[in-house]
Structure 1
């Protein structure tokens, strides 16, 4: 007789939709890898190439079989951790040992090509062209391609820094009034866009031959000229054909440049090089920089601790008041107090920056004062703390309200029965119990304010600055000072900024560890 009992378990079967979904997913991963790997090899991005290859292998190993079930769930989070946290840290540390910055971003070959191309000189018989600038990428960053129209013959040419000038078939472009106005696959920049990117476009030199190139003159004209400098690979030198002067490679500071016979730097262009611990030596041994770093570090501590203390005291006090059941309309008051938290931070900062205007700001107008909030370092620091208090106390109010409501009421009643006043109950009973819950959040708030770039940049831009000082302003914290070093008007210095970032990362970790160690004292308050 056939059995009437159901089997103890049934083996799971893979359905056709599941198989199709898996095939599509793995196919998409393989397509992305096939596209990315050649590009990364061409760009010599070996770290990202390794990540892509290893991630692709891991995905196929995990998701093409029914095995490794825990790994299927752990892998996505691990991949994002590596890509968005660990890899940037590794890259920052790596750049801190280089001279990466303005004029030192590319390879030596690229630097030589740029120096030679920029030596193009106009002659009496130079050919002039009507110029149109185009791009297949970003209108500001490029890369840019030049479309040239010979006014005499109407012939159209195109070229860029990597591709020599070549004639363009008439059917591929549209010419209006002697200028190219449309080209297949390109976006022609208008006058405003050319003006925005002019500093970059002006440096372009499109080669024609080894000794001739096209340079831009103005926004819509270009000329054909001859290169004055030539490079000799055997001797690793540049020679000026006009003066006969020879430039060889020499070290200026911690970076190699082409120098003249006196060892002085002949060109601003250099190339990416390893400089060892030079950036760290500069940070800790240069008296001026060390002083600026120390002053910024002290103010960063004051700003972070002051912000946490002020916001917590105000938020906790308001939470205590509105936790009393005798207060009517508590929900309305709480909603009103949360409004600063609901407004986007960058909007609040920009609005408050107008409040501090010396001539027509709301604060001076209301109080009948004429204080130079943004021009005096002490007042500017007070303005930063006041604004951060406005933006931060609602968060502490929310946290304190939740913590207060979790404290058993019988604990406070017991304290009152023992003869404690309301103030004594709050200080000796409620506060320690509340700190048990909120202490880790206070540590996190300190770490956040330690790197609170927006509060400084959008409110004071790091100012006010002393005469002749451009690296650190009166309200600059370490992170905003690093930003100014990396992207300042005196030229980007990413290598040194990376070294300061590494030092800041270490400082933040040490301070957070110390604070977490102190919070363990509160574990006995239970």
Structure 2
């Protein structure tokens, strides 16, 4: 099923990769050889597909200016600029229009399939220009092309959907010697434009005024601009920008200020989340580990209830608890705290909700670690006169850390990127009028999300660069933590 779709869309790399994986699977599992590979291959494939490949794609995106206003190629943007200035003149050619895709109907690239209303000639039009087609390669019914070799004909509903704002067919124009061809409903007309593009000099010239426009860098994008600074259009295009996004992350004063503040809170949030859940989980595990306690199994089951409830449901419930007017916490305790309106109390609310979500996990791992500690060690310490606190501090806790230290590192990495807890509870807020981008409880991952998909102009390329930096930062912190936990191996 995938092969025809990839062939029709020209995705040769993906086709080669998929068939390469199929061949490897057949060779490994259809023979009695390669026994170790039978166990290693599934995990390796999942690692490549779900970890390594997304990292590569994110890095590729991070060196572009992809985002709002830069989703199209330079050729498409130029054709739209010329089309926006074009007007219909007397005697202009008109066409019946069909839209074809060289691949799947939803994938593109798209082509105008045109039938000249006067001569009946058939053409294929792209942002690169107009090309006459062989009449034998198309099927024309009622004046319009209904089938063409190498193309999938889009339905009218699909054309309407793709022609919406920011759609791939919005402003689609085909340059010609006399102007451009643009769609008017399900027909097309050739318009005359005073603008001409010269590929050799990379300039657009207004033939009526003689003004020449060249691409000028503004921020992370380029616009055709005249010598006196007049911008021809607000249309830009996507292109590689190298390391500009990374340089911007460290040199832009606003970004640097937000980044440092958010990083400090992210680190604080991750450390406190791990510390508070560990302390509560360890305390409960220690108390319930006493064999003399009645109802031990039932109490353990009750403490695991928060872990069994989906996190997004718990966070939405906690969100209602923190309502400043009729929330359970303020109403029950007689408080008047604006939990989500004050940055400090919003941080406290996030930590409290995350404590509820995280302590059952720590309770589980600490219970397992406690039960793995030989009881004769504690008995020997008690015979030597150790108190209960000394026993816990000198024997139980160090031995427990041997087992749970790697899990603490994983928990830190998870909370360092705990998007759900922030977004579902506070959405990163509260925000100030002078800075609606960075909120009081934003961590780096929620800040990155807002840059990429926020209500303002989407900066997906820049957000990808921040994501790469966040990945490197998380990896460095995890490596430091793992290195610090190596000394615990001497206790095992």
* TM bin (shorter chain): 0.7 to 0.9
Q: Write out per-residue CA displacement over residues 194-240 of structure 1, whole angstroms, 9 at most, x where no aligned residue.
A: 7x995335972355873354567xxx999968354443334422234
Per the TM alignment, residue 329 of structure 1 is displaced from its structure 2 partner at its CA by: 1.4
Aligned residue number for residue 65 of structure 2:
99
Aligned residue number for residue 28 of structure 1:
none
Give the Cα separation in 2 of the matches to 1:85 and 1:317.
36
Per the TM alignment, residue 275 of structure 1 is displaced from its structure 2 partner at its CA by: 2.3
Change beyond 3 A, Cα 1:361–1:230: farther
Change beyond 3 A, Cα 1:408–1:66: closer
Per the TM alignment, residue 67 of structure 1 is displaced from its structure 2 partner at its CA by: 5.1
Per the TM alignment, residue 307 of structure 1 is displaced from its structure 2 partner at its CA by: 0.3
Aligned residue number for residue 302 of structure 2:
336
Per the TM alignment, residue 167 of structure 1 is displaced from its structure 2 partner at its CA by: 11
Aligned residue number for residue 403 of structure 1:
369
Aligned residue number for residue 26 of structure 1:
none
Aligned residue number for residue 483 of structure 1:
449
- SS class of match (1:116): helix
The answer to whether the aligner puts 1:188 opposite 2:188 as a matched pair is: no
- SS class of match (1:365): helix
Aligned residue number for residue 236 of structure 1:
202
Per the TM alignment, residue 267 of structure 1 is displaced from its structure 2 partner at its CA by: 2.6
Aligned length: 468
Give the Cα separation in 1 of the matches to 2:487 and 2:139.
77
TM-score between both structures, scaled by the size of structure 1: 0.75
- Work out whether residues 341 and 395 of structure 1, in 8 Å CA contact, stay in contact via their aligned partners in 2: yes
- Work out whether residues 9 and 108 of structure 2, in 8 Å CA contact, stay in contact via their aligned partners in 1: no
Name which of 444, 468, 487 aligns with 2:410. Answer: 444
The answer to whether the aligner puts 1:87 opposite 2:53 as a matched pair is: yes
Change beyond 3 A, Cα 1:205–1:92: closer
- Work out whether residues 215 and 225 of structure 1, in 8 Å CA contact, stay in contact via their aligned partners in 2: no
- SS class of match (2:425): coil
Q: How do residues 307-386 of structure 1 correspond to structure 2 at under 5 angstroms?
A: 307-386=273-352
The answer to whether the aligner puts 1:305 opposite 2:271 as a matched pair is: yes
- SS class of match (2:214): strand
Give the Cα separation in 2 of the matches to 1:37 and 1:61.
24
Q: Write out per-residue CA displacement over residues 459-518 of structure 1, whole angstroms, 9 at most, x where no aligned residue.
A: 111111122213311111111111111222222222222222222112111111111111
Aligned residue number for residue 148 of structure 2:
none
Per the TM alignment, residue 71 of structure 1 is displaced from its structure 2 partner at its CA by: 4.1
- Deviates further, 290-299 or 415-424: 415-424
Q: Write out per-residue CA displacement over residues 35-78 of structure 1, whole angstroms, 9 at most, x where no aligned residue.
A: 53563458xxx6x4664465466457656766545445544433
- Work out whether residues 134 and 188 of structure 1, in 8 Å CA contact, stay in contact via their aligned partners in 2: no
Per the TM alignment, residue 448 of structure 1 is displaced from its structure 2 partner at its CA by: 0.6
- Work out whether residues 117 and 205 of structure 1, in 8 Å CA contact, stay in contact via their aligned partners in 2: yes
The answer to whether the aligner puts 1:466 opposite 2:432 as a matched pair is: yes
Q: How do residues 47-62 of structure 1 correspond to structure 2 at under 5 angstroms?
A: 48=14, 51-52=17-18, 54-55=20-21, 58=24
Aligned residue number for residue 389 of structure 1:
355
Q: How do residues 206-217 of structure 1 correspond to structure 2 at under 5 angstroms?
A: 207=173, 210=176, 211-214=179-182
The answer to whether the aligner puts 1:293 opposite 2:262 as a matched pair is: no
- SS class of match (1:248): strand
RMSD, aligned α-carbons: 4.3
Give the Cα separation in 2 of the matches to 1:465 and 1:269.
31
Per the TM alignment, residue 427 of structure 1 is displaced from its structure 2 partner at its CA by: 2.2
Q: Write out per-residue CA displacement over residues 247-303 of structure 1, whole angstroms, 9 at most, x where no aligned residue.
A: 222333454332122245433333332323222221112222112111111101100
Change beyond 3 A, Cα 1:64–1:315: closer
The answer to whether the aligner puts 1:248 opposite 2:217 as a matched pair is: no
Per the TM alignment, residue 83 of structure 1 is displaced from its structure 2 partner at its CA by: 2.4
Q: How do residues 134-173 of structure 1 correspond to structure 2 at under 5 angstroms?
A: 169=141
Give the Cα separation in 1 of the matches to 2:345 and 2:424.
16
The answer to whether the aligner puts 1:278 opposite 2:244 as a matched pair is: yes
- Work out whether residues 100 and 154 of structure 2, in 8 Å CA contact, stay in contact via their aligned partners in 1: no
- Deviates further, 361-370 or 504-513: 361-370
Give the Cα separation in 2 of the matches to 1:277 and 1:208.
34
Q: Write out per-residue CA displacement over residues 302-328 of structure 1, whole angstroms, 9 at most, x where no aligned residue.
A: 000000000011111111111112222
Give the Cα separation in 1 of the matches to 2:341 and 2:108.
39
Aligned residue number for residue 36 of structure 1:
6
Give the Cα separation in 2 of the matches to 1:127 and 1:362.
70
